Structure 1
Amino acid sequence: MKRAYLALSILISICLLRCVQGKETKAKGTQGNDNVTFDLSRYHNPTLLKSKKDSSLAFINLLSKEDLKGAERIYPKMFSLDVTSGVVTVEGEKPMLVGLGEYVLDYSKNTYDLLALSVFLKKKHNTRLELYDQMLRGSIRLDSTNVAALYLLSEVRHKYGVKEDAYYLISKMKELDTENPEIHRLYRSQESSIKNLTQTLPSLDDFARTDIIFLRHD
């Protein structure tokens, strides 16, 4: 487990720690749409699995619909992973996954495999929010053009009040994919907020290296 955790840490290369209040954080003067919705299937919902990207996104979309049997046909080994060493249980609370085992090594070489694993663990084993965020950023570190990973990360940051980060990520998605209707919709819904960002914007690589602590959880 130590080797696996070290491997993931190297992938993500955490170099900063940011503490974020569990409340809305906006750039001054922004008028973002707080009712913006995220649905990855609107970005890409493949029916023919011709690539790792297709398989990963089809898997994630099936998980979101609670179609576990369909999802298992795509990544069958994932459903038999032993995650017990990373799970903590607090009386009165749902068990939470706070650490990863050596199984992560089988998924950490490809951005879309890691993305699929990230969502699977979050949905099936209640991954701690910081770890889920970290794994999504690990997927981006493997391939900074992975728009699906940017999409899911922007959803997390928006949902838990880190709105400026979500705006930043949406702007990056727009740069990478100018034709996709869902990315266009998201960008248009937040365009004024994106243009009013007042902070100095980091490179995507620096952003993906930056760890975060959420003070608000589900």
Structure 2
Amino acid sequence: MAKAQENLGEVRPWPVVDWRQILVASDPAAAVTQQRLRTLRGRAVLSEGIQRSVSSNGRLVGKVSLFCELNIEAVVLARRGLAAVASSYRSAASLIERALSAQLDRQEVHAADLLGPAAQSSPVVLEMLRTLSSECASVRAKLPGIPGEETATGILTLQEESWVQFTPSEHLHLQQLLPIEMALGVGLSVGDPAVLTREVLSNGTVLLRMRPGLLFSTGSALA
């Protein structure tokens, strides 16, 4: 896997997330429930997101909800008591989601494809994700970050029994073995681009969050 790391191009955070990732960022110790999601929405802590029905053979089989990734910052900042900055992230996420919702309708792209494997093989969806990522990066450049937080992009390079190694392209001090459940919980496995965030609270507690990474390279970095 060393070769994969050497050839890895630019990696950015996956620009859309599901509601479970938002709840874990908001409070890692609390249960992941729809009720908590409704509470955060009711408090205007996060955006409304995009909801779409999922059908198969003409029959409704479920629903999918996705959110702009800036909601991660919004809920973490709200948890840290930085309501004004959190509101700025939430507002930016809402604007991006409204534009994305209209684009999904125009291009007849299924919302679920932005979260699933189809994003890796569909040029239309991949370009949509890269555009979204650039928009999110532009927002981040204009707003304050989260105090005591570091984020590194890299790749999952090694699996040892119940552990997986995150190897960053920068911030090498963030290289570490992590429980494999952390990767599997966000749909990742060895060889995948990933984003690891290390948040240090005022009491010294360290929180780690892993997210899928979006590869901006056109090379065969994962070969």
Q: Same fold (TM over 0.5)?
A: no
Instruction: Decide which structure has greater strand share.
Output: 2
Which structure has more relative contact order (CA 8 Å, sep 6+)? It is 1
User: TM-score w.r.t. structure 1 length?
Assistant: 0.30
User: TM-score w.r.t. structure 2 length?
Assistant: 0.30
